[in-house]
Amino acid sequence: MRLLLGALALAGCERPAPVAPAPAPVVPPPAPPPRADTPLELPEQAVLVGRWQKPSTLLRQVQAWAGGDLSLELLLRGRIARPSRPVDLDAPLEFLALWDGNVAQPGLHWALSLPLLAEAGSAGGARDWPAPRDVPSPLGLSCAETPALGPVPLRLVCTSSGTALAQLLPIATRALPLAELGAGELSLRVHARPLRAIDDGTLRARTTYWLSSAFGLELLSRKGEAELASLAQLLSDELRNLADDFDGTTLELSLRGTEQRVELSLVAPRAAVRSELLQLLLGTGSAGIAPTDFWQLRYESDRAAYLWGWSAQPLARLRAPLAALLGSMLDFRGLPDRLTAQGRNLVERMPLPQSPIVLASGRLPPRREGRGAAPAPWLGELGWGAYAFAGNFAEYDAWAEQLSEAFDDPVLASQLSRLVRSAGGERWVPRRIERRPPAVGRLPRGSFTLEVSFDEPAPATSVAKEPAETPAPGALPEPPAAAAAQKRAGPPTLFVLCVPEAGGVKLAWGADEHFLAGVVAPVTAKTAPNTLAARAGLGALNQQRTLAGGFSSLAALSGTSGTAWPGFALLPGLALLSGILSPAGAQPLTLPGAFEQAPHRGESPILYQLTRGAERSALTLSASFGRDTWEDLLFLIARRAP
């Protein structure tokens, strides 16, 4: 018993077992710095990014077809910038555009990133570049060469301004070379993220600022505010819908070796056609073969197109808000109700073309003897344009009469001129608009001419011309008599001929009324050599069913003939929108031209067409470049390269 009590006493006196201390927290080792070749996401503001994987592959193939030296290196150094090292055409060329969300001046900032060759024997190729180094640009761009991460150690980055260069230089040398864009030879990606991230109120504020600055409205106290807000809402919705329709768009390139052609395709895989722009172009989505009138247009056209499923409804929906805004502006200026209503009617009753729409445009021929003075140079550079479309000719006749009456009233004309001056500049302010019978006979009964004269622009506002070509050895200077013959008498004048035809209208514009009369003459007077049907290379286009299609040319795209932007002749309303959204005083960027001496004069057709997939979702805009086009391009590069 005593033993048992002793054991219990010992057990009661035993010290409790010590509690084990909590384990010390494990501190993970520091993460290694990111590798230089780690892919990075593109910035949230990225709207458009593109990459040309290996330009030398395409250039070698084209050189084999054309039998010349397509030195893109000389073109890039002669026209874009002049870095200290050659451009590496075996490495990717890249491009990106970012949305700038500044409410006061919203817009896009873009950058072009070119790879440069490393010095022979250099390990890193860019060790002697501790900081970006400025590079001169013949185009006046802001350029710098700087070290880059990724597959190329040194890059040349060019953009529109020093501010944009400072913003985009780190992105163009870090994120873009490493971001995944696609496996194709050419990769292009459109992103709608930036617009989706902007709330409705902010986007409306930005578009309102755009509209008010474009139309010269410093806003009319409180008048016109509701009308401007309604128009801004329409434009805001259009920007969102357009971005969604083109979100995820890709660019593809294919070589047709047997046909010696290069084809480019721009594919919008999820185009739901929400935007007014696509509804305008596609209409009901119907497809068809080019109308007969397409092939009866003049052979001298530098480009042509047709819109088979065109729908005017998106433009018609803009007439009411634009008319309401114009009425408020005229009322604010103190115009009587009669003149305010007259101004509104010009917008509300403006006739719109119906499909199919056929277009041709080109250069004006030299002025013949006995046809009066030469046109103003800036009007002559516009060339000529012609349309054929379905519609009621009486509506166009009545509207032209209303337009001339509006400019006959000095009070209303002065206010309309102020709007034209704000949107298009001093040069395009009409001094007089007269509707009269054509000065040329043999046109259908009821035809009329709308003669629009302008004030002579001051020398300071004239468009700067490129330096004249060096005269060829042995060339004689222009005789004084020939120079005197070019002097004009009277103000610069633009002529618009409007001619009725069965179920539709023909309309042509240019600075030479006699030439325009031949453009809109009845088709029975045209012969095959004077029509597009006789033009080589267009047969395939005639046989394909497309939503829209046609051709352009290097000469047309360079701005040496017709307008600098082909869409100006095809869609005047879109050209006006482009001009509104362009910086004040900006001129179209045109390429230098020496096409008069080129093998094919820059006039070889570049076919383009807009098609839609069987599932009515994917849209494809494709263009085909043939051997003749590449030969002219080789000539242009060889002539202009330093």
The pTM of the full predicted model, rounded to 2 decimals, is 0.73
Contacts of 507 (CB under 8 A, 6+ apart): 386, 387, 388, 396, 496, 497, 498, 499, 520
Please give the backbone phi and psi of residue 131, each rounded to the nearest 5 degrees, phi first.
-150, 160
The Cβ of residue 399 has, within 10 Å, a number of other Cβ atoms equal to: 18
Concatenate the DSSP letters of all residues of 373-401 into one string.
SPPPHHHHTT-EEEEEEES-HHHHHHHHH
Q: What angle do CA 102, 104, 107 make, to 5 degrees?
A: 55
Please give the backbone phi and psi of residue 402, each rounded to the nearest 5 degrees, phi first.
-65, -40
Report the side by side order of strands in the sheet with 93-100: 133-135, 142-147, 154-159, 107-115, 93-100, 46-52, 186-190
pLDDT, greater one: 133 or 558: 133
How far apart are alpha carbons 347 and 327 in whole angstroms? Answer: 10
The Cβ of residue 78 has, within 10 Å, a number of other Cβ atoms equal to: 16
pLDDT band of 7, cuts 50, 70, 90: very low
Please give the backbone phi and psi of residue 121, each rounded to the nearest 5 degrees, phi first.
80, 0
For 283-300, the pLDDT digits (tens) are: 878 888 888 888 888 888
Structure tokens at 503: 């179920």
Q: Is the confidence at residue 181, as pLDDT, over 60?
A: yes
CA dihedral 36, 37, 42, 48 (to 10 degrees): 120
User: What does the pLDDT read at residue 299?
Assistant: 85
How far apart are alpha carbons 520 and 596 in whole angstroms? Answer: 27
Residue 158's DSSP bridge partners are 112, 143
pLDDT band of 74, cuts 50, 70, 90: low
SS3 annotation, 230-299: HHHHHHHHHHHHHHHHHCCCEEEEEEECCCCEEEEEEEECCCCCCCHHHHHHHCCCCCECCCHHHHCCEC
User: What does the pLDDT read at residue 349?
Assistant: 92
Contacts of 31 (CB under 8 A, 6+ apart): none
User: What does the pLDDT read at residue 26?
Assistant: 66
The arithmetic mean of pLDDT across residues 268-292, rounded, is 83
Strand 107-115 with 93-100, pairing = antiparallel
For 200-226, the pLDDT digits (tens) are: 888 888 788 777 776 666 545 556 677
First-to-last CA distance in the chain? Answer: 119
Q: Which range in 122-131, 517-526, 556-565 is most confidently predicted, on average pLDDT? A: 517-526
Q: Is the confidence at residue 469, as pLDDT, over 60?
A: no
Burial class of 536 by CB neighbour count within 10 A (0 to 12, 13 to 18, 19+): exposed
Q: Is the confidence at residue 394, as pLDDT, over 90?
A: yes
User: What does the pLDDT read at residue 338?
Assistant: 92
pLDDT, greater one: 79 or 334: 334
How far apart are alpha carbons 71 and 89 in whole angstroms? Answer: 10
User: What does the pLDDT read at residue 458?
Assistant: 53
pLDDT band of 627, cuts 50, 70, 90: confident
How far apart are alpha carbons 473 and 272 in whole angstroms? Answer: 59
Q: Are 386 and 508 in contact (CB under 8 A)?
A: yes
How far apart are alpha carbons 281 and 40 in whole angstroms? Answer: 37
**CA–centroid distance for 4 within its chain:** 104
pLDDT band of 8, cuts 50, 70, 90: very low
Structure tokens at 182: 């696609």
Q: What is the domain partition of the chain in residue ranges?
A: 46-118+129-191, 248-312+352-456+489-640
